[in-house]
Amino acid sequence: MNCLRAITLSLSLFLVGMVGPIQAQLQMNFYANTCPNAEKIVQDFVSNHISNAPSLAAALIRMHFHDCFVRGCDGSVLINSTSGNAERDATPNLTVRGFGFIEAIKAVLEAQCPGIVSCADIIALASRDAIVFTGGPNWSVPTGRRDGRISNSSEALANIPPPTSNFTNLQTLFANQGLDLKDLVLLSGAHTIGVSHCSSFSNRLYNFTGRGDQDPALDSEYAANLKSRKCLSLNDNKTIVEMDPGSRKTFDLSYYQLVLKRRGLFQSDSALTTNPTTLSNINRILTGSVESFFSEFAKSMEKMGRINVKTGSAGVVRRQCSVANS
């Protein structure tokens, strides 16, 4: 009997050892004991700077999205590479902004609580706070993410949905992250704020199928306006264009209205109307209130913020967000 108990105890300890790190979860106020003011420090920093740079709200939520779609939400998008092959060197991330902003928040936190708050959590918190301070939706951000140390440009290129995506590509890349078609529609709603470079959609204006043609799914009047006033050539990679013209600073339903009018800027925006499920979701959102949209958007953001997170003994807490082994 004692031998059986010993075997049972050993097996139990073995199983605990196996599943311990897996069971570690994100939780609200994770830093309550180790760095009690962590979330307020992030919030205050965002509050003090967002009024001078309101466009950072769109930039930070985009950074959060790009981070989570590659190796999970582990801050790997922030890592610099001397050889030019980190995530931030990949084409989808060349126009991502806010790296210095996150690093500045990290410096303040390191001064208060050295080695405690992860860069991954800073991205998650700062992106939420920036959206809230610009009048957008609020959502819960459980913390406890750990940072990764691996950052590959090839993985970013393979996993981040490009603006040229058709529906099949969008569905696949979102499903790979555990996100469904409802999440796809809701998270695309973040295009209601911010701007884009012409290079992200100029093929729709000048060379859609490689024959010098225009995307027939793009409203012709809107396309003509873009060609005459914004993106004057296929090679323009500097001019920026509002993703939600006339409403780019307001988190609202205008983006979805434009998509239905065939005035979504990206091919990926237009793709949402080519599937009955995503099209139905757009129409449903538009028949509801902004408050209902905010509530649903919040749930999808919370879901995205949990993608393949490293917690417990997995990952590290990088002391400098741009340095893998800091």
Query: What are residue 196's phi and psi, to 5 degrees?
Result: -140, 155
- Find the DSSP H helices in 144-271: 153-159, 167-175, 181-188, 202-206, 220-229, 254-260, 267-271
Selecting among 49, 64, 66, 191, the annotated active-site residue is 66
User: Are the CB atoms for 133 and 50 separated by under 8 Å?
Assistant: yes
* 66 catalytic per annotation: yes
Q: How far, in Å, CA of 267 to CA of 193, rounded?
A: 17
pLDDT, tens digit only, all 326 positions of the chain: 444 444 333 433 333 333 333 335 899 999 999 999 999 999 999 999 998 888 999 999 999 999 999 999 999 999 999 889 999 999 999 999 999 999 999 999 999 999 999 999 999 999 999 999 999 999 999 999 999 999 999 999 999 999 999 999 999 999 999 999 999 999 999 999 999 999 999 999 999 999 999 999 999 999 999 999 999 999 998 999 999 998 888 999 999 999 999 999 999 999 999 999 999 999 999 999 999 999 999 999 999 999 999 999 999 999 999 999 87
Token pair in block for residue 69: 């779609």
Query: What are residue 151's phi and psi, to 5 degrees?
Result: -145, 110
